[in-house]
Amino acid sequence: MKITVGLIALFIITNCFGQKTFDKKLSIQSKAKIDKIFSEFDKKNSPGFAIGILKGKQVLYTKGYGSANLDYEIPITPNSSFDIASVSKQFTSACIALLILDNKISLETPASKFIPELSKYKDTIRIKHLIYNTSGIVDYFKLPRPDGKSWITFNYFDIDYCIKTSLAQDTLSFKPEEKWDYCNVNFMLLTKIVEKVSGQSFSEFCKQRLFQPLGMTNTLINDDVTEIIKNRVTPYNRRTPEYVEAYIKEGITIKKEGEWIQHPRNSPHYGGSGVVTTVNDLLKWSENFFTKKFGGQEFYDLMHLTQTFKNGRNNQAFGLYFDNYQGRPFVAWDGGDYGVSSQLMRFTDKKLAIVVLSNLGTGEAYKKANAIADILIGDGSL
């Protein structure tokens, strides 16, 4: 392929600090307003954000603000790799959707068929109970850690340890379907079902059946803390007295001086979290829900399938929830963990998606996404 000097110059310009933009239709005024939302983070000595806005198949705007790593002041770009925390749940759910479409399982399949430990409970836990957070299983972090350590992600633990802790309980906290209770272990168990049915590791199944077909080449399941991940951001929290005290309470000795606390993720749990990806890849994922090229209408319908249980909640789908903002319906899921914050929302009627990823624990990505939505509503894009 012939590469001109002009193309090289364009590459350099679009990858300089704070200048990662691809825009054909968003006005200069709207871009300036969006940039203002993140202005306090748009500097080398601060963690920050990566954002993306998509309408149909057209990328309206992508940009990075702040540093991916404060040690080296590496700028955040739309290709920076973020741990997206609970936004990962839709990808775990998508794997289950693919197996359902393969006619290998159904929502009514008892989970104990693949996870024998669940057979000890008198009430049958079905795959749908895991998907819709109505299983009655107590989430791992609500229970004492068996080794006496804290569940803070500085301390190593893996998915098997979490599952074992939760399933050590002899009874469920409620009968399946009677209540809704957000539970990461539900989704960890779903990864085990994917592995049993497919004969592959969960990470490999995701790679072959989801990420590669969608062209999400910078997306993976972080199931190995020793793995090298290209363009990975470092998570941070503010070094406030409140945070310092909270870390000390968790058994972590830290200094009071300084502005930021670096928080590497040393626990490779996944299913409820564990996806590492970029803004650009999440825009590809979002675009497919507008084009339905991958999976077709069947995949789309299953990912957006809601059910009504005795708990009365009927706005959750497959790792997604339905809501509306300023009278505009959207589907989304937000995520947060030590040092990270994420939001991916799709306005279905307008075929518009907003992605906000942050390497700051107090980033409140969902609020930033809402603020972007306000601007797009104001300029008629949404």
CA 80-27-53 angle, to 5 degrees, is: 35
For residue 24, the model assigns a pLDDT of 56
Is residue 10 scored above 90 in pLDDT?
no
Summarised one tens digit per residue, pLDDT across range 168-219 is: 999 999 999 999 999 999 999 999 999 999 999 999 999 999 999 999 999 9
CA 153-270-148 angle, to 5 degrees, is: 35
For residue 25, the model assigns a pLDDT of 77
What are 35's two structure tokens?
């940039």
326's CB contacts (< 8 A; 6+ apart) are 373, 374, 377
217-236 average pLDDT score: 97
Q: Which residues are 75's β-sheet partners?
A: 67
For residue 144, the model assigns a pLDDT of 97
Summarised one tens digit per residue, pLDDT across range 65-106 is: 999 999 999 999 999 999 999 999 999 999 999 999 999 999
- Mind giving me the DSSP string for 323-341? EEETTEEEEEEEEEETTEE
CA 301-321-345 angle, to 5 degrees, is: 95
Whole-angstrom Cα distance, residue 177 to residue 164? 22
Burial of 125 (0-12, 13-18, 19+ CB in 10 A): buried
For residue 1, the model assigns a pLDDT of 32
The total of other beta-carbon atoms located within 10 Å of residue 27's CB is 13
